[in-house]
Structure 1
Amino acid sequence: MRIGVVCEGPTDFHAIEGFLGEALIASGVEVEFEPIQPNLDQTLPSAGWGNVFSWLDRNPPEYRIRNYFGGGLFGGNLGRTKLDCLLIQMDSDILGELSFCTYVHENYKYPVSAPTSSADRANEIRKILKVSSRFDEMTEADISRHVLAPAVESTETWCVAAFKTPTRDFEVISQEELVNEFMSALEISENRPLKDSYNNIDKNPLRRSKFCKVHKVGWARVVDGCREFRLLFNDVLKISKI
């Protein structure tokens, strides 16, 4: 199975490839992930929700279907091996931020809300991705090959879930608590001394890649403790059986 990934940044790709990949392999699915956005070959690939929207705007439905799924009159796909699905990821921690709400309203005419429950926050991101991906211009068959992956509150939540035991509802962790939970996991994983608290999440792609490779064995805790990851896993698993 080949999955094209459009996500906010390289750390998100490493989490998707590590935890989702390991979950699929454990289910008997041979999987390969193609990083479409960001371009990991760049020395310093940028990250952020704007990159996801920019890619979707530059690659409208007709182009995506023709060049990534091998559809259209000529069935060409720019020399690529055809993808089984396109996974589009975005964090929910951006909800409520003025710049994000303004951008979505001005570009997609969608009024963003900022619900409090983790499930509602994921659903809000899902709605925004449907609008920005232009689902209304696609057939049901083509929509089914677009897998929307809201991460609550971010893919760092998956990292914490893979590292921590016992399992709990990890998607209720947010803001400063999530920063401290993730950074503590990262520091312990690397045998570094812990701080009392952390101001920011380290987004170094090399550190994240190593962390996800080491802790992908904890994929079952991510499935059990992160409802939205579990839904993502089940969606991809269904596609793999078609």
Structure 2
Amino acid sequence: MIATAVVALAVGRLTAWPTIHGLRTQLADATSAMLHDPLTGMLNRAGLQAAHATLANTDPVQPIIVALIDLDDFKHVNDTHGHSRGDDLLTEVGDRISDIAALHGGTAARLAGDEYAALLPARTDDLDRIADTFTTIISQPVALPTDSGPALVAVSASVGLALVDTSDPFTEVALHRADIAMYHAKRYGRHRHAIYQPGMTMPPAQHRRGPRLRDRHQPTNGASA
């Protein structure tokens, strides 16, 4: 009788295994979808925040470089070539940013629209060189398919970099400081970069593209970060 019960239990487990495996797969897929951008396959904002949280939980505290990358006048690409071709360009730019981040031992994400970010280990204090790498690689023309054949399209990017500690809050400090630097880069024209300096504040509103969610949660009227 005991043997019969054991056999029944084993058969029950074998029968249930495909269901359990399927549920685990669905859960893994759902978790991945929550952390990744569906267009580019990069991490999304939540995914980058999770990556930062992993760094923050690692001792000892380490310096990291946060890059905020915003394409210049991307709307012109959509208006000229259509949103589908614009998506192709966003994907190609995302691949380039991911490659640069991986080259430096970091990770990258598409936050929203034409805005990207990266977390890099601070293996060098030459932040200008890293920023130049982003702006130079991103600005290389991309061949986009059109009804009349491939069209070479190029965009430039404004890049803001900030050197922070892994213990610094992600949104309120790390990303916010890189964002301030990026807006200073954009203030002086296309294809520029800026490095966050202590006491640096958001530039006047006329030099900004418009308020975003994290801007509305941060002091911008002359307050520093």
Bin of the TM-score, shorter chain as denominator length: under 0.3
TM-score, normalisation: structure 1: 0.23
Q: Which has the larger radius of gyration?
A: 2
TM-score, normalisation: structure 2: 0.24
